[in-house]
Amino acid sequence: MRLSVVMPVYNEAATVAASVERLRGVPLPLEIICIDDGSTDHTRAVLERLLAEGRIDILVANVRNQGKGTAVRTGIQRATGQVIVIQDADLEYDPHDLPRLLEPILDGRADAVFGSRFLGGPHRVLYFWHRVGNGVLTLLSNTLTDLNLTDMETCYKMARADLMKSLPLRARRFGIEPELTARLAQTRARIYEVPISYSGRTYAEGKKINWKDGLAALWHILRYNLLPPKAPSYGPTPLSTAGATADVEVGGRLRGPVQFPPPDVSDAVTQRRGGAEDPLRGPAAPRARVAASDEEPA
């Protein structure tokens, strides 16, 4: 079993290397996919160095900034793991929480898991009105999805790859959070929440989201819940009869053999660390490390 980590990156030269090293310290088989979303600092150079050193597996570089949603959709398309999770590059979310998120999926209890910042995990104390805004957005989302989430806007959204790839995602920017929530609810997939730690940044430290994004989120919640297209219903393949098996250790206990359906590999990817051959896609082009893109994912 491999966990694909989709990391959208925009002007995070100061933190992205540390974020990757935290990921590499997690005792899970990972595929790290970084999408440089048209950064104007030296983020691209840092990511190219990390790729050359084998610290990340795939690097996609957008020619211009297209937004977090577009970057996330690009990463989902290129993921080859059996489970996919979104990871920000700003050190606010701790990758050591990932095994806890993965556990309900490995146990067969969940198809998707949200990491909640508001379920009692340790967190940095910051902005009161941000917390109020998160609560309002989550309440509106829950009203339309008929879920009882505590943190709709969390970055940590993990799902089985076949489920994640089946979602008709359209959001370009921060609307990806309410859209992922709405689409997952539409599939009737089994969704769990687990507590996570959170170390939020101040605006002086580089936090990007602001009140305008909060207002936009209200529209996105309405749009993706009420307007087409809708996500198809999800019927997970029984883990006892699907795909390849692997032993995975989570929470100090060996979970295995665990089975997943094979990932969708219809989209060709030629940029991999070292130009190494990918067992699912065949040989990559020699030293074709970076895919420069100015197009939105389909």
**Is residue 188 one of the residues assigned to a domain?**
yes
Q: Exposed, middle or buried by CB within 10 Å (0-12, 13-18, 19+), for 143?
A: exposed
- 258 domain-assigned: yes
Express each pLDDT in 63-84 by its tens digit.
999 999 999 999 999 999 999 9
Lowest mean per-residue pLDDT among 16-20, 22-26, 277-281, 294-298: 277-281
Question: Where does 91-240 have alpha helices with state H?
Answer: 98-106, 128-145, 161-166, 176-187, 211-226
What are the pLDDT digits (tens) for 124-181?
A: 655 676 778 889 999 999 999 999 999 999 999 999 999 999 999 999 998 999 999 9
Of the candidates 167, 199, 165, 170, the residue with the CA atom closest to the CA atom of residue 183: 167
Q: Is 298 domain-assigned?
A: no
Mean pLDDT of the chain: 83
CATH number at residue 249: 3.90.550.10
Q: Does 74 reside within a domain?
A: yes
Q: Identify the CA nearest to 32 among candidates 10, 12, 54, 48.
A: 54
Higher pLDDT residue, 290 or 150? 150
Q: Which domain holds residue 244?
A: 3-293
Q: What is the pTM of this model?
A: 0.82
Q: Mean pLDDT throughout 20-36?
A: 98
Average pLDDT over residues 180-204: 88
At 200 the pLDDT is 66
* Cα–Cα distance for residue pair 235/233, rounded to 1 Å: 7
Residue 204: pLDDT band with limits 50, 70, 90? low
Say if 185 falls within a structural domain: yes
Query: At which residue do the structure tokens 């910051």 appear?
Result: 126
| Domain tally, the chain | 1
In which band, very low, low, confident or very high, does the pLDDT at 214 lie, cut at 50, 70 and 90? Answer: confident
Point out the least confidently predicted range of 76-80, 167-171, 213-217, 250-254: 250-254
Q: Which residues pair with 86 in a beta bridge?
A: 6
Query: 160 Cβ partners below 8 Å, 6+ apart?
Result: 82, 83, 84, 105, 111, 112, 236, 260, 261
State percent of the chain over pLDDT 90: 66
